Chains A and B, each alone.
Chain A
């Protein structure tokens, strides 16, 4: 590492410390203005409650006690309104307008906390932004730019020596995984308001999958599979993983603690959409910046490989333009927030009533968005995947894929290549696809019939649970938080229902495959190691077999890292089934052998 690079790392660390420290560093005061709600009834009740509790106009210098008090105020107001409604129901407003629903608490809490802030961050959002985001970006570039001056070529030196990227011992990895799953289920029980049905169903499904893999597919009695674990644990990796996991838990479920960060990005949000920032804006901005900066790093690393350069530019472009800026502009123009490249079932809210209604209500463009989304699902996916394989989406367009290919690149080697992992993968990802389809079918049934119940399932419950366990838990916490623990495509490989759909098309009806170069493979294993989808590429390459796998996202890294030029991504229909068959293994002249 050169001096400039060390400076970059130092600046980045400083920025990270400030960023984290900023969370608690602001003054808060709840005032009549800062109390945010769209309902007058609620506002009155809340103010009355705040006054009697002595919280109104009181100064707080940290957010923990402030949030605690405000939460109590809201809770008390909620109970009050409830009691009042029960005692003498008003005639002019309906019950759900009068009461504060549980789901509304969050919508009151985070904006209220945010606008109650009046300390240094609230007064100097731009300075705070520069000290955190700005400094981190600067540090990042100081670290990355010198890489452009080294000679181009594969630079994987020291990946397995680095504490950040070498992975974890098996026990620790297992512990973190089990802990996260159980923790999420318990939290989910609370999240569902004490309704244990769906957490229980999920636990049973997990049990069934374990049974299917270990007993039915006979993984238990065999010797251990190839381990994806490291001999020495990378503690920096654990730290990074836990930091991200905690970040997601707060972002999804406790965003009131993030208000300082949100305040910091207000000026940017205002200039884009004209609205104040929300936690989702913060997340989108952070995401886009990371994809951009780490995208430049990706280009520096693979700059000898044009495919990687073009592809990385593509993910940066789609994230910045389609996922981040365009939706904000749509909002500014009073159109619904819409990401044109986010396809159901990855975009699981697409068929939710509020989304359909808001699209229909916003006229021509809204209808176009609705039709566009449906066309992508039923025509776009199969047709484009037929010609180019699932890579057109997964490693060129998708936002999750974009993050995995940029920020996730240093962790791609941590994917598990064992056959056992592959078995898990197939059960889980197709399970999630089935779950997404059932959930959406019920939501649509509800939408068209007005009846929320099918048998004894409730469509609102199932969709809340889907959003919790798949939308937030799997794709966020495990999907990104587990980069340093289980590789950068954990979500894409095991969880994404759209990837499952694209994968089925790729496997059964696509021209895409990876061809291998005759007998040139030396079985070195670079391709398998750096395949983020955990495909044992070498298994095929050393037999001269073409690779047709539903999970391959066509990132092209196997081909880039192969030291012998063995792999090439291709789109062509000829011979695809023959060449993917096992018998292309013969390297000695065939006509010499009589039988086979």
Chain B
């Protein structure tokens, strides 16, 4: 069978690797961005000089030939599903038996005046990095519009070269549509501590041309204030990169619509990763989840489906992580920025204001449903098991050390949570387990 995958990001490549593991089919990965799969999440580190581009490539160049995965650098502009073929921008026609669309996302642009000027752009592709690089030397200021995960990464990138940064953020507090309020405020404080000019509840008005087609200032919508800057970063989220599919028979909405087997409405065509939109997402999950881990799981799932064992896409219990400048962030399970009425949480914050642990539980059943960590590492498998098994809050509290994943010699704060719980309830719980791998493994096997 001749399998074509468009997109060499995490989802497309995971699919290719798993198809190779499971079968002997012919596999071709077509992509126009880069020769080799690289880790998009590491883009910032290239700019900051932590890594070279090759260091972001998870596999050596000879991995592909060893595993008989053919890489083709072309841009696909048309799908002809009746003849099961693709047309590339250079006119070549490529046929397939099975097609996997793993097209990823593109940066959002909301029709701001001047959004297509030079020195304006998002951060998604390698080409975006080149643009940032091009305008960085001697840059007087960068204005970043949009305060999500990519916005803060872009701010950190410019700060690593001592370039002044202004961030225009629509929300009341950084990323408060995803983070609970204490954590959101913690990060807002941290951003300011890094000398980033954070403007909350402000939107981008327009981007001003310097006469040569290049941006040289922006205005703030709410106040009309003009901010001089040599670069404007647009980081107000991403959306599926499917423009060229809009007028085809492939059914799309925000993304390419797929069923639980990741099939599109066209036979033998699948879609995975950022560009896929679930028709029926699992309860509590969004139809488009543009993150690394879901792309990887979809890639694995689609491989099983193509290789003959029908497998439903099941993203399992939600988890994610990020790093806000110096603060690491991990989340497991359900932690909402605006919690439902029955969601209660036990929250501890370190006096330095840069570490916190939050355990979310259901007030009625006392079952633990989520963990939110700042500056502290928890063990994925342990949290997942607690949530999956609907473990009682008190049980989790007493065993909490099992979840600790911080490096050796780090201070442990599980006791502080227990203390807070005790003083809230008048109970007298104590930690019963130690952070020992043997105990963890025993727990995981139980």
Contact = CB atoms under 8 A, between A and B. Distances in A.
Contacts of A305: 407
B11 to A, nearest CB: 12
A151 B193 contact: yes
Interface in A204-244: 222-227, 230-231
Given A222-B65, A518-B379, A574 B45 contact: no
B267 interface: no
Interface centre among A523, A539, A575 (most CB of B within 10 A): A523
Nearest to B51: A529
Contact of A230 (B45, B52, B57, B65): B52
B437 A523 contact: no
Given A226-B54, A519-B380, A524 B49 contact: no
Contact of A595 (B54, B309, B328): B309
B61 A223 contact: yes
A569 B435 CA distance: 13
B441 A224 contact: no
B442 A160 contact: no
A580 to B, nearest CB: 13
B319 A518 contact: yes
B304 A593 contact: yes
Contacts of A154: 326
Contact of A223 (B51, B65, B377, B411): B65
Interface string A543-576: 0000000000000100110011100111111110
A225 B407 contact: no
B319 A523 contact: no
Interface string A515-532: 101111011111011000
Interface in B310-338: 311-314, 316, 319, 321-323, 325-326, 328, 330
B41 A522 contact: yes
Contacts of B66: 222
Contacts of B49: 156-162
B39 A153 contact: no
Bin chain B's interface residue count. Answer: 35 or more
B65 A574 contact: no
A226 B384 contact: no
B216 interface: no
Given A564-B321, A574-B441, A160 B51 contact: yes
B405 A517 contact: yes
Contact of B437 (A223, A520, A570, A586): A570
A307 interface: yes
A555 to B, nearest CB: 12
A453 interface: no
Contacts of A594: 309
Given A161-B49, A523-B39, A225 B62 contact: yes
B281 to A, nearest CB: 15
A158 B292 CA distance: 26
B55 A528 contact: yes
B270 to A, nearest CB: 15
A565 B58 contact: no
Contacts of B54: 226-227
A572 B437 CA distance: 6
A91 interface: no
Interface centre among B50, B381, B436 (most CB of A within 10 A): B50
A152 interface: yes
B61 A225 contact: yes
A566 to B, nearest CB: 9
B169 to A, nearest CB: 21
A526 B42 contact: yes
A592 B313 CA distance: 9
Contacts of B56: 524-525
A519 B408 CA distance: 21
Main secondary structure on A side of the interface with B: loop
A538 B58 contact: yes
A525 B55 contact: yes
Contacts of B51: 160, 413, 525-526, 529
Contacts of B309: 593-595
Contacts of A159: 49-50
Interface in B154-198: 160-161, 193-194
B372 interface: no
A575 B323 CA distance: 31
Interface in A456-490: none
Contact of B408 (A307, A565, A575): A307
Contacts of A563: 323, 328
A523 B296 CA distance: 11
Nearest to A569: B408
Contacts of A595: 309
A588 B410 contact: no
B319 A587 contact: no
Contact of B330 (A230, A565, A569): A565
A571 B435 CA distance: 11
Contacts of A306: 407-411
Nearest to A539: B58
A152 B311 CA distance: 45
A165 to B, nearest CB: 9
Given A231-B52, A520-B319, A525-B42, A574 B442 contact: yes
A526 B296 contact: no
A200 interface: no
Given A520-B380, A565-B405, A572 B436 contact: yes
Contact of A586 (B39, B300, B410): B300
B60 interface: yes
B58 A525 contact: yes
B48 A518 contact: no
Contacts of B65: 222-223
Interface in A312-326: none
A61 interface: no
A5 to B, nearest CB: 13
Given A307-B407, A515-B437, A588 B58 contact: no
A445 B386 CA distance: 63
A333 to B, nearest CB: 36
Contacts of A570: 437
B326 A153 contact: yes
A559 B193 CA distance: 25
Interface centre among A162, A225, A226, A231 (most CB of B within 10 A): A226
29 contacts: A151-B326, A153-B326, A158-B160, A160-B50, A223-B62, A226-B54, A226-B57, A226-B60, A227-B54, A304-B326, A307-B410, A517-B405, A518-B319, A518-B384, A519-B293, A522-B292, A525-B56, A529-B51, A542-B58, A560-B407, A564-B322, A570-B437, A572-B438, A587-B293, A587-B296, A588-B297, A588-B300, A588-B316, A593-B311
Interface of A: 151-154, 156-162, 222-227, 230-231, 304-307, 310, 413, 418-419, 515, 517-520, 522-526, 528-529, 538-539, 542, 556, 559-560, 563-565, 568-575, 586-589, 592-595
Given A151-B194, A306-B410, A529-B55, 16 more contacts: A156-B45, A157-B48, A157-B49, A159-B50, A224-B62, A227-B54, A306-B409, A307-B407, A522-B321, A525-B56, A525-B58, A539-B58, A556-B407, A565-B321, A568-B405, A587-B293
Interface of B: 10, 39, 41-42, 45, 48-52, 54-58, 60-62, 65-66, 160-161, 193-194, 292-293, 296-297, 300-301, 304, 309, 311-314, 316, 319, 321-323, 325-326, 328, 330, 377, 379-381, 384, 405-411, 436-438, 441-442
Q: A-B pairs with the 7 shortest C-beta distances?
A: A518-B380, A153-B326, A572-B437, A565-B377, A524-B42, A306-B409, A522-B41
